[in-house]
Amino acid sequence: MSTTILGIESSCDDTSAAVISDGLLRSNVIASQKVHEQFGGVVPELASRAHQQNILPVVSEALRQAGISGSDLDAIAFTRGPGLLGSLLVGTSFAKGMAIGLDIPTVDVNHLHGHVLSHFIKESEEQKIPEFPFICLLISGGNSQIILVRSPFDMEILGSTIDDAAGEAFDKCAKVMGLPYPGGPYIDRLAAEGDPEAFKFAKPHIQGLDYSFSGLKTSFLYTIRDNMKIDPDFVENRKADLAASLQKTIIEILIDKLSKAVRQTGVKAVAIGGGVSANSGVRAAIQDFCDRRGLKAWIPKRSFTTDNAAMVAMAGYFKYLKGDFCRLDMPPYSKVEV
Contact by Cβ (8 Å): 307, 14: yes
Radius of gyration, alpha carbons of the chain: 20
Instruction: Kindly state the average pLDDT of the residues 277-290.
Output: 98
Range scoring the smallest mean pLDDT among 2-6, 38-42, 89-93 = 38-42
Query: Which pLDDT belongs to residue 156?
Result: 97
pLDDT tens digits, one per residue of 102-158: 999 999 999 999 999 999 999 999 999 999 999 999 998 788 999 999 999 999 999
pLDDT tens digits, one per residue of 309-330: 999 999 999 999 999 999 999 9
Q: What is the mean pLDDT of the chain?
A: 94
pLDDT tens digits, one per residue of 161-203: 999 999 999 999 999 999 998 899 999 999 999 999 999 999 9
Query: Which pLDDT belongs to residue 338?
Result: 37
Q: What is the DSSP string of 70-138?
A: GGG-SEEEEEEESS-HHHHHHHHHHHHHHHHHHT--EEEEEHHHHHHHGGG-BSSTT---PPSSEEEEE
Query: Which pLDDT belongs to residue 336?
Result: 61
Query: Which pLDDT belongs to residue 41?
Result: 65
Query: Which pLDDT belongs to residue 44?
Result: 74
pLDDT tens digits, one per residue of 29-87: 998 766 556 556 677 778 889 889 999 999 999 999 999 999 999 999 999 999 999 99
pLDDT tens digits, one per residue of 205-261: 899 999 999 999 999 999 999 999 999 999 999 999 999 999 999 999 999 999 999
Question: Rounded CA gap, 207 and 311, in Å?
Answer: 32
